[in-house]
């Protein structure tokens, strides 16, 4: 990384951390709160199809 210029918000240093240490430019990350509990792959699908989540809405295309 060139030391003559300021790091942009999206740049990452060699350790995988954001280069920006300024709190105005990079606010701390916010915790994401789920509205519903996480569905396990082997649990019934929440769409009421009767199939497991991994075979219904959780299938990776």
Q: Assess contact for 3 and 13: CB atoms under 8 A.
A: no
Determine the average pLDDT of the residues in 19-29.
67
Query: By C-alpha distance, which of 61, 19, 39, 24 is closest to 48?
Result: 39
Rounded to an integer, what distance in angstroms lies between the CA atom of residue 18 and that of residue 53? 36
pLDDT grade for 23, boundaries at 50, 70 and 90: low
Tell me the pLDDT band of 7, cut-offs 50, 70 and 90. Answer: very low
Q: What is the pTM of this model?
A: 0.44
At residue 44 the predicted structure's pLDDT band, cuts being 50, 70 and 90, is: very high
């Amino acid at each position: 990384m060139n030391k003559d210029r300021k790091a942009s918000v999206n740049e990452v240093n060699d350790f995988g951390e954001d280069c920006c240490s300024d709190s105005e430019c990079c606010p701390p990350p916010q915790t994401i709160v789920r509205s519903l509990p996480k569905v396990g792959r082997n649990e019934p699908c929440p769409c009421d199809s009767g199939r497991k989540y991994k075979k219904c809405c959780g299938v990776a295309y």
